[in-house]
Structure 1
Amino acid sequence: MKLILYSHAVQAGFPSPADDYKEGALSLDDHLIEHPAATYLARAAGDSMEGVGIFDRDLLVIDRALEPVQGDVIVVALDGELTCKILDKKHQRLLAANPDFRPIPILNEQSLVIEGVVKASIRYHRKQPC
């Protein structure tokens, strides 16, 4: 489905009279999903990633085809539990984006599977049904 994309940004202050001009159509699939067969969605839970703009109940767009690099936000299965964290390859750890959470060291004896790179997150500003 293609949606209308306006050529001017939406002001969070006073509106501009030029905001009536349309730039064209935009498909959210084309914009958010680079590898459709390798992309899935999941809901964020908790507040450990608020520092990078991921809040409780946000929708994560996760791409398994992307190779994780230093600083990427990733979803990992760590000893069987899924978590969303920042990858710190340099120091072999996973980082929260909230100072209330300690780094998680990546130890050799742990089972760690990278489930994908978080390409985008979608925040709802209206309460969503469960």
Structure 2
Amino acid sequence: MLTVSNKYRALNVYAPDMESKNGLPFVSHGVSAGFPSPAQDFMETRIDLNKELSKNPLSTFYIRVSGNSMIDAGINNADILVVDRSLEPGNGKIAVCLIDGEFTVKRLLTETDSLYLMPENKAYKPLKVTEENQFMVWGIVTYVIKKIQ
């Protein structure tokens, strides 16, 4: 675990354990989300979520979400984000950003000579990034891990 501190609070960042030998049971054939399909031979293998979700292991981290500014993008409070720091930021991508000493997750919106951090919740306003801001895209969100209630 890496703890990144800023003047407001600490952000716990977890790296994937690529050496883990603790794969979970995994049924490799798909399950129908439409009409039930005929029973197939039950074949169980193992899956390691660290390896499955980390295409670039040296630059991939897990971060827990705090807040609800991205709920309309399917990102809720306490979800875990898989963030890849090696991916290039781009218009429409969801990114973990550091702005003026605060971490935030938002969708990037680029316009001619402008960059906006866009929430996905109407209760929040877009944030225009200006030259006065200390700003960095820390990484691009590749997966969201959530508990289904």
Q: More displaced, 49-58 or 30-39?
A: 30-39
CA distance in 2, matches of 1:19, 1:8: 10
Partner AA of 2:88 in structure 1: E
Q: Runs of 5+ in structure 2 lacking a partner?
A: 1-21
Q: Give the 3-state SS of the residue equivalent to 1:92 in structure 2.
A: strand
Partner AA of 2:31 in structure 1: A
Task: Give aligned-pair identity as a percent.
Answer: 34
CA distance in 2, matches of 1:116, 1:6: 30
CA distance in 2, matches of 1:74, 1:62: 8
Aligned residue runs from structure 1 range 40-59, under 5 A: 40-59=61-80
Q: Displacement of 1:29 after TM fit?
A: 2.0
The alignment status of 1:22 with 2:43, answered yes or no, reads: yes
The alignment status of 1:78 with 2:96, answered yes or no, reads: no
Q: 1:68 to 1:19 in 2, by over 3 A?
A: farther
Q: Displacement of 1:50 after TM fit?
A: 0.8
Q: Displacement of 1:21 after TM fit?
A: 3.3
The alignment status of 1:110 with 2:110, answered yes or no, reads: no
Q: TM-score when scaled to structure 2?
A: 0.73
Q: TM-score when scaled to structure 1?
A: 0.83
Aligned residue runs from structure 1 range 59-78, under 5 A: 59-78=80-99
RMSD of aligned residue pairs (Cα, Å): 2.2
Q: Displacement of 1:16 after TM fit?
A: 4.7
Q: Displacement of 1:52 after TM fit?
A: 1.1
C-alpha contact 1:7 1:23 (8 A) present in aligned 2: no
Q: Give the 3-state SS of the residue equivalent to 1:110 in structure 2.
A: coil
CA distance in 1, matches of 2:59, 2:115: 25
What's 1:38 paired with?
A: 59
C-alpha contact 2:59 2:85 (8 A) present in aligned 1: yes
Q: More displaced, 22-31 or 92-101?
A: 22-31
What's 1:101 paired with?
A: 124
Aligned length: 125
Q: Runs of 5+ in structure 1 lacking a partner?
A: none
CA distance in 1, matches of 2:76, 2:32: 22
Deviations 1:73-118 (A, max 9, x none): 1001110000000011224101011111111001111000111001
Partner AA of 1:112 in structure 2: F
